[in-house]
A and B are shown apart, each in its own frame.
Chain A
Amino acid sequence: MARLETPEALESFRQEILSRRDPDSPCVSICAGAGCVASGADEVIAAFEKEIEAKGLSATVSTKGTGCPGFCEQGPVVVIYPEEICYLQVQAKDVPEIVAQTIENKQVVERLCFKDPATGERAVKESDIPFYRSQQRTVLCNNIKIDSKRIEDYLALGGYAALAKALGQMTDLEVLEEVKKSNIRGRGGAGFPAGRKWEGSRNAKEPIKYVIVNADEGDPGAFMDRALLEGNPHSILEGLILGGYAVGAHEGYFYVRQEYPLAVKNIHLAIQQAEHYGLLGENILGSGFDFKVIVHQGAGAFVCGESTALMTSLEGKAGEPRPKYVRSNVKGLWERPSVLNNVETWANIPLIIDKGADWFTSVGTDSSKGTKIFSLVGKITNTGLVEVPMGMTLREIIYDIGGGIPNNKKFKAVQTGGPSGGCIPEHLLDLQVGFDELTKAGSMMGSGGMIVMDEDTCMVDVARYFIAFLTDESCGKCVPCREGLRQMHRILTNITKGKGKQGDIELLEELAETAVEASLCALGKSAPNPFLSTLKYFREEYEAHINDKKCPALACKELINFYIDPDRCTGCGTCRKQCPADAINGDKNLIHIIDQDKCTRCGTCFEVCPPKFASVVKLSGEPVPDPVPEEARTIRKKTKEKG
């Protein structure tokens, strides 16, 4: 197939692709995203290919490795079309059965379907699974349908139709107006209206302009951008070309973190394929619009996700933020107008142009339109990526989609917005998710990380953890961030070790204020959020650590002691045998005792004590009872009480 010279040629090429595909012939889609690959997806793909070949079905059944559909907890995920039968936790050994039952005999293999833990009911289709049922997947939904290495898959689903529409039927200004009308706010975190950002660049005097994809996702536990880059790279590329057209840029950049090698590979491939078909390069679809794209690999510094640091890094210098009060969309990369948007923002653009701004604004809250992808991790039953309409409550996300907190533990807080976001407590669970709503609660949208914490989490330790991360990732250019975070980290560490002093909270508040007000870039300005939000909602935990040397969540190692309840100990010896510090004394028929001086508080005894005895307990802020006197240590065998 040669270059496509007109929008009509693209359309007829699409029809040709569709005509070659029989919608009724079976297709096996296996998630080849990072999570599923880690649980064996590659072997599953190979097993399907081998089995289909062996059964002589290759001519009628197709197999493809696709992008991540989000339900990582239950991977590898396999979806069989056209029936959309969804199998979870599929292993290579399940493949012959699936081929024989489902593909040859149209029978569902029940044991591989999702089983509702509450009702025991099986869900056959993807859309019947509660995890997916409450989501609204407009951006993520194509991941499971696309082999990201094949542009034909994207085209078959209507890919590049938005580009054809824009270049064929709309002026560049009309594209901009449509994006402005959609009110889409940047999905990277700050939530600046994308249309206004674009307009600023378009109106800037300098004629050479750039559009850039921020694919430097560095939040711990977040992988929304990764899933899109790996799963549907053309959607981001198409968005970028549309952006270039709207602002008058002829050059675009992907700034991708090096730690995402598959994403880098897939984008390179997508660019090549788009160039091959004349969807990228000179005179795109015969419109006269020229646009080229360059991929740049970042070296994995978290700060390079900050706009000015990213651009400095793109220029080939150390990725440090610039101290400027002129926005990057007017003076950015090489001092030229540069529109920088996050992966998810760009992926939304083709949908907005294709379906219209009104379609986009029909979803969401007053100030936050459209859907948002979150990466739901932590103490949650269903870990994975979820895409929900803005305005859905945290409770719906965590309980309806996420399936709640495992092991009958109590919900404590959800941390949103990545390392510099904040922790939202239980009484705010009905908060609607949106840019302004989260900010008002002392947190932020960020790029969409959502870490759920249960009752065993110490909030002071959480603040310490995130501040530690940010201290490590600070570029070190400005004093409030480099030095302020260093001292905050020290003070927080002391508090979690029981060395907190009166006045520490005030000192932390002062450092936080200095970082917020005086830091050079957003990393420093938002870095105190984990501390400020945990102080706001969990102040009593700080006070307990400082005043009573007590960790209410029983999590801070230096503030807890392990103690064996003499009434419950059966002398089974499990803890004694596994104690790495030889701190447990005991024998058969002898109540075990922990030598507190020898104990390293590793928690092994607590973990290995059989739940039916549960004799090891954690204590904090209270004295450890004296050990049982020697003469009372013998355990008298009780006669088994049978019921």
Chain B
Amino acid sequence: MGDIQFEIDGQTVTAVPGMTVLEVARKHGIYIPTLCHHEKLEPFGGCRLCIVEVEDRGWTKYVVSCVFPAAGGIIVRTRSEKVDRLRKTILELLMAHAPDAPQLVELAKVYGADPNRYESDPSFCIHCGLCVRYCAEVARKNAIGFVDRGINKEISFVPEIAAQYCNDCKECFPLCPTSYLQAAFVYAQAMTFPGAGHN
């Protein structure tokens, strides 16, 4: 199959069919911020931070680059006044939960996000799902999952599985952007499987 050619921030880039705009951008060294994306995992499209402006046959739309398929002739702008504004709001919304998460603090500087814009509700988890998906897709243990829905949604370890595998794995720990996962693990361990895995 032939290569696809399109434009990102004025630069002509090439892709093979099936690639996402984010993948193409990364391949060409063009930076697009992400929070819930991980190369080893299926795209999730949850944080919406990788939103970009796409001009396609005269129409401008806003799409998330982690799942938007590369297509010939499109013009992608990774920064624009509106893209920056949307990212700023997303960051501010997340910082109401995790004001000191290093990744968020760093991105907040770029987009001028104010961590105190919205009423704070420090719950720390930003629901990026990296731990849940890593455990399911890479570690294949499903020791951690999401429970409940909407604003009540949270991550939760499955004690039976976690007691057996987590102490030896912990591969999801460094993926967590807010360190909430470690806290959740320690809490789950203390409450449901104390002593398991202690050497």
Once bound together, how far apart are the Cα atoms of A511 and B85, in whole Å? 10
Q: Which of B51, B149, B150, B152 contacts A518 (CB 8 A)?
A: B51
Most B CB contacts (10 A, CB to CB) among A301, A480, A507 go to: A480
User: Mostly helix, strand, loop or mixed at chain A's interface?
Assistant: helix
Verify B86–A479 contact, CB threshold 8 A. no
Chain B residues near A517 (CB, 8 Å)? 51, 62, 82, 86
Is B159's CB within 8 Å of the partner chain A?
no
Once bound together, how far apart are the Cα atoms of A301 and B117, in whole Å? 31
Number of A-B contacts (CB under 8 A): 101
- CB-contacts of A469-487 with B (<8 A): 471-480, 482-487
Once bound together, how far apart are the Cα atoms of A339 and B82, in whole Å? 34
Once bound together, how far apart are the Cα atoms of A520 and B67, in whole Å? 11
Verify A478–B48 contact, CB threshold 8 A. yes
Once bound together, how far apart are the Cα atoms of A484 and B86, in whole Å? 11
Contact indicator per residue, chain A 70-98, by CB within 8 Å of chain B (1) or not (0): 00000000000000000000000000000
Name the CB-closest residue of A to B47. Answer: A479
Verify B96–A476 contact, CB threshold 8 A. no
Most A CB contacts (10 A, CB to CB) among B49, B94, B97, B127 go to: B127
Most A CB contacts (10 A, CB to CB) among B47, B69, B119, B151 go to: B151
Verify A323–B43 contact, CB threshold 8 A. yes
Q: Which of A476, A480, A507 contacts B127 (CB 8 A)?
A: A476
Once bound together, how far apart are the Cα atoms of A471 and B151, in whole Å? 7
Measured as residues with beta carbon below 8 angstroms from the partner, the interface class of chain A is 20 to 34
Name the CB-closest residue of A to B43. Answer: A323
Verify B46–A479 contact, CB threshold 8 A. yes
A287, chain B: closest CB distance, angstroms = 39
Q: Which of A323, A324, A518 contacts B86 (CB 8 A)?
A: A518
Chain B residues near A480 (CB, 8 Å)? 48, 86, 89-90, 93
Chain A residues near B153 (CB, 8 Å)? 475-476, 482
Chain A residues near B69 (CB, 8 Å)? 325-326
Chain A residues near B126 (CB, 8 Å)? 479
Chain A residues near B97 (CB, 8 Å)? 483
Is B111's CB within 8 Å of the partner chain A?
no
Most A CB contacts (10 A, CB to CB) among B45, B85, B119 go to: B45
A126, chain B: closest CB distance, angstroms = 43
B167, chain A: closest CB distance, angstroms = 27
Verify A477–B46 contact, CB threshold 8 A. yes
B58, chain A: closest CB distance, angstroms = 18
**Residues of B participating in the A interface, judged by any CB pair closer than 8 Å:** 43-49, 51, 62-64, 66-69, 82, 85-86, 89-90, 93-94, 96-97, 117-119, 126-127, 146, 148-153
**Residues of A participating in the B interface, judged by any CB pair closer than 8 Å:** 301, 318, 322-326, 471-480, 482-487, 490, 507, 510-511, 513-514, 517-520
In the complex, given contacts A318-B146, A482-B151, what are 9 additional A-B residue pairs having Cβ atoms less than 8 angstroms apart?
Answer: A323-B44, A323-B64, A325-B68, A326-B69, A471-B151, A477-B45, A479-B49, A514-B93, A519-B48
